[in-house]
Amino acid sequence: MTCLPSNQPIDRIKASPLAGVRGGVPIPFASVTFSDGYHAMVLEKWGVRAAAMTFSRPNKSFYLSSAVGFPIPFSKLENNFIRLSEKVSLNGFKKDHVIALDDGISEFDPLLKQLKAQGFKHLRVFQINDILTSTGYWFMFFEDLDNAECVGEKVANSIESSPFPHDLEDMRELTADRDHVDQMITNWVRLLDRRDKETEEHTERVAWLAVKLAERLGISPEEQWNIYRGALLHDVGKIFIPNEILLKPGSLSEDEWAIMRMHPVIVHELLSRFSIPEEVLDIPHCHHEKWDGSGYPNQLAGEEIPLPARIFAVVDVWDALLSDRPYRSKFSNEEAVEYIREQAGMHFDPQVARHFLEMLPVKKI
């Protein structure tokens, strides 16, 4: 059973940061959503020989998000593009401006000098003011000056003010098999981890626990695959929550909670546009629903909640209880067990909660 459609689609949330972008070039989601394969297809469409994107974390330090078309391994590119981004942010380059690599600029940067030797002739830098509420830069490299000069208009017109490109058939085709789904999930999780480093170990732990509980409940290996991927994606919707809410050290206001509670809707609205099995989306969409119907976003109750989401709800809360939070200290194992028992039949499916408690302690294989 799949989660019911949300009654609050993204395009109705006009007052939140989800409604669009604020100036600059909208973020090309191809770099993180559709894997490097889709990004490469976009570059081919625009006649760009190579491109890279950088973003800044909340502390304003840059990281390399995506890079395709370079004769240099990704692992060796990051420091170079961090330096380039810092130069751009300090107005070392004109933003949204074509730069010839033979005008002397490549002599001052080892990466640009190497790319010039590889036949790259022109660089264009676009500033990205994205819906992640951070700054980024899209570096594009060309052989042909005419193409370098006109591609800016193509970028602006192709994405407009929406975070979602319009050629959805291309996206579905490229995400139609398991390998592309895995690559896309990996890119999303990587982006979330770089924004909020505390989520990284939590995501891996709860994904593994969810699979072990599913196995105990007799769920097939294929369904376990869906549960694992869905667990990895469970907090990806938080990417679109503003830093001042997501990283707030104190308690949230009612208005802030209203935005925070949208993250399951956001991730479902985004990822349902691709060829991702609905069973994978059940967890990110429905893991905050509660057995008694008091959860969100759709107040589902009992078996209206998809089984993968009921499984994940228990392990997610369990892991959260055993971790320190800005607003409370972590629970002891005994306190966490008692909480799960108390919430069986209210927050949790009582049978799922019983099986979870029976399988503790879990030892990682």
The predicted-structure confidence for 130-142, as pLDDT tens digits, reads as follows 544 456 788 888 8
Q: Which entry of 116, 212, 238, 290 is annotated as an active-site residue?
A: 238
**0.85 surpassed by pTM:** no
pLDDT of res. 58: 62
Sorted by sequence, the CB contacts under 8 Å of residue 87 that are 6+ apart come out as 93
Q: Is 50 exceeded by the pLDDT of residue 168?
A: no
Whether residue 238 lies in the annotated active site? yes
Q: Is 70 exceeded by the pLDDT of residue 57?
A: no
Percent of the chain clearing pLDDT 70 (strictly above): 67
Domain 21-161, CATH among 3.30.413, 3.30.530, 1.10.287, 3.30.450: 3.30.450
CATH architecture for residues 178-359: Orthogonal Bundle (1.10)
Exposure b/e, 334-358, CB count within 10 A at least 16 = b: eebbeebeebbeebbbeebbebbee
Rounded to the nearest angstrom, the gap between the alpha carbon of residue 257 and the centroid of all alpha carbons in its chain is 20
Angle, CA of 176, 181 and 182, to the nearest 5°: 150
pLDDT range class, residue 283, cuts 50, 70, 90: very high
Q: Is 60 exceeded by the pLDDT of residue 6?
A: no
Residue ranges of the chain assigned to CATH 1.10.3210.10: 178-359
Q: What is the mean pLDDT of residues 166-190?
A: 61
Q: Is 70 exceeded by the pLDDT of residue 188?
A: yes
CA atoms within 13 A on the CB side of 221: 0
By the 10 Å C-beta count (0-12 exposed, 13-18 middle, 19+ buried), 285 is classed as buried
pLDDT range class, residue 114, cuts 50, 70, 90: confident
Q: Is 70 exceeded by the pLDDT of residue 25?
A: no
Q: What is the pLDDT of residues 150-165, one digit of tens each?
A: 776 665 554 443 334 4
pLDDT of res. 291: 97
pLDDT range class, residue 338, cuts 50, 70, 90: very high
